[in-house]
Amino acid sequence: MNDKKIRVRFAPSPTGPLHMGGVRTALYNYLFAKKHGGDFLLRIEDTDQGRFVPGAEEYIIESLKWCGIQPNEGVGFGDGPHAPYRQSERKPLYRQYAEQLINSGHAYYAFDTAEEMEALRKQAEAEKRTFSYDSFTRGQLKNSTALSAEETAQRIANGEAHVIRLKVPQKEEIQINDLIRGEVVFHSDLVDDKVLLKSDGMPTYHLAHIVDDYLMKITHAVRGEEWLPSAPAHVLIYRYLGWENEMPQYAHLPLLLKPDGNGKLSKRDGDRLGFPVFPLDWQDPSTGEKSAGYRERGYYPQAFVNMLAFLGWNPGTEQEIFSIEELCSAFSFEHIHKAGAKFDPEKAKWFNEQYLRHASEQEIAARLKSVVANTFNIGADDRRLSENYLTQAVVLLKPRVQFEAEMPEKGNYLFMAPDQYDQQVIEKKWKENSRSFFVALANAFSTSSTFTASDVDTLVKETATTQNIKPGDIMQLFRVVLSGQGGGVDLTGMASLLGKEECVARIELALKKIQN
Ligand code: GLU
Q: Within this chain, do residues 94 and 179 fall inside the same structural domain, yes or no?
A: yes
What pLDDT band is residue 393 in, cutting at 50, 70 and 90? very high
Cβ(252) – ligand 1 distance below 6 Å: no
Cβ(277) – ligand 1 distance below 6 Å: no
Q: Is residue 183 part of a domain?
A: yes
Cα 342 to Cα 328: distance, rounded to the nearest angstrom: 23
Q: Within this chain, do residues 365 and 384 fall inside the same structural domain, yes or no?
A: yes
CATH number of the CATH domain containing 196: 3.90.800.10
Q: Within this chain, do residues 383 and 337 fall inside the same structural domain, yes or no?
A: no
Q: Is residue 61 part of a domain?
A: no
Contact 52, 84 (CB under 8 A): no
Q: Within this chain, do residues 111 and 201 fall inside the same structural domain, yes or no?
A: yes
CATH number of the CATH domain containing 365: 1.10.8.70
What pLDDT band is residue 10 in, cutting at 50, 70 and 90? very high
Residue 3 has a pLDDT of 74
Q: Within this chain, do residues 321 and 398 fall inside the same structural domain, yes or no?
A: no
Q: Is residue 169 part of a domain?
A: yes
Q: Is residue 403 part of a domain?
A: yes
Cα–ligand 1 centroid distance for 87 (angstroms): 12
Which residue's CA is minimally distant from atom 5 of ligand 1? 11
Would the pLDDT of 516 be above 80? Answer: no
Would the pLDDT of 1 be above 70? Answer: no
In tens, the pLDDT along 325-335 reads 999 999 999 99
Atom of ligand 1 nearest to the CA of 15: 4
Cβ(11) – ligand 1 distance below 6 Å: yes
Which residue's CA is minimally distant from atom 8 of ligand 1? 223
What pLDDT band is residue 367 in, cutting at 50, 70 and 90? very high
Q: Within this chain, do residues 94 and 188 fall inside the same structural domain, yes or no?
A: yes
Cβ(13) – ligand 1 distance below 6 Å: yes
* Amino acid, res. 368: L
Atom of ligand 1 nearest to the CA of 226: 10
Residue 220 has a pLDDT of 98
Would the pLDDT of 5 be above 80? Answer: yes
Q: Is residue 7 part of a domain?
A: no
Which residue's CA is minimally distant from atom 9 of ligand 1? 223
Q: Within this chain, do residues 436 and 454 fall inside the same structural domain, yes or no?
A: yes
Q: Is residue 312 part of a domain?
A: yes
Q: How many domains does the chain have?
A: 4
Q: Within this chain, do residues 352 and 404 fall inside the same structural domain, yes or no?
A: no
Q: What is the mean pLDDT of residues 348-365?
A: 98
First to last CA, the chain: 83
Q: Within this chain, do residues 308 and 408 fall inside the same structural domain, yes or no?
A: no
Mean pLDDT across the chain: 97
In tens, the pLDDT along 284-298 reads 999 999 999 999 999
- Among 205, 234, 237, the mutation site with the greatest number of ligand 1 atoms within 8 A of its Cβ is 205
Cβ(250) – ligand 1 distance below 6 Å: no
| Among candidate residues 7, 207, 258, 232, the one with its CA nearest the CA of residue 101 | 207
Q: SS3 for 284-299, per residue?
A: CCCCCCEECECCCCCC
Q: Is residue 71 part of a domain?
A: no
Three-class secondary structure of residue 434 per DSSP: helix
Give the burial string for 20-50 (b: 16+ CB within 10 Å, else e): bbbbbbbbbbbbbbbebebbbbbbbbbbbee
Q: What secondary structure does DSSP assign to 196-230, as a single string?
A: EE-TTSPBPHHHHHHHHHHHTT-SEEEEEGGGGGG
Which residue, 381, 412, 443, sits at the end of a domain?
412
Q: What is the mean pLDDT of residues 337-358?
A: 97
Q: Within this chain, do residues 303 and 396 fall inside the same structural domain, yes or no?
A: no
User: Could you give the residue ranges of the DSSP H alpha helices within 290-433?
Assistant: 301-309, 324-330, 345-358, 361-376, 387-397, 407-410, 423-429
Give the burial string for 124-149 (b: 16+ CB within 10 Å, else e): eeeeeeebbbbbeebeebbbbbbbee
What pLDDT band is residue 49 in, cutting at 50, 70 and 90? confident
Cα–ligand 1 centroid distance for 223 (angstroms): 6
Point out which residues pair with 272 in neighbouring strands. Answer: none
Q: Within this chain, do residues 333 and 370 fall inside the same structural domain, yes or no?
A: no
Which residue's CA is minimally distant from atom 7 of ligand 1? 223
Cα 513 to Cα 480: distance, rounded to the nearest angstrom: 12
Cα 223 to Cα 227: distance, rounded to the nearest angstrom: 7
CATH number of the CATH domain containing 478: 1.10.10.350
In tens, the pLDDT along 222-268 reads 999 999 999 999 999 999 999 999 999 999 999 999 999 999 999 88
* Catalytic machinery residues: 267
Atom of ligand 1 nearest to the CA of 45: 1
Would the pLDDT of 503 be above 80? Answer: yes
Whole-model pTM: value is: 0.93
Domain with 160, as residue range(s), is 89-208+249-253
Give the burial string for 458-477 (b: 16+ CB within 10 Å, else e): ebbeebbeebebeeeebbbb
Q: H/E element holding 251? A: strand 249-253
What pLDDT band is residue 2 in, cutting at 50, 70 and 90? low
Would the pLDDT of 483 be above 90? Answer: yes
Q: Within this chain, do residues 376 and 336 fall inside the same structural domain, yes or no?
A: no
Three-class secondary structure of residue 23 per DSSP: helix
Cα 72 to Cα 460: distance, rounded to the nearest angstrom: 61
CATH number of the CATH domain containing 311: 1.10.1160.10
Would the pLDDT of 138 be above 90? Answer: yes
Packing angle between helix 491-498 and helix 471-483, nearest 10 degrees?
50
Q: Is residue 214 part of a domain?
A: no
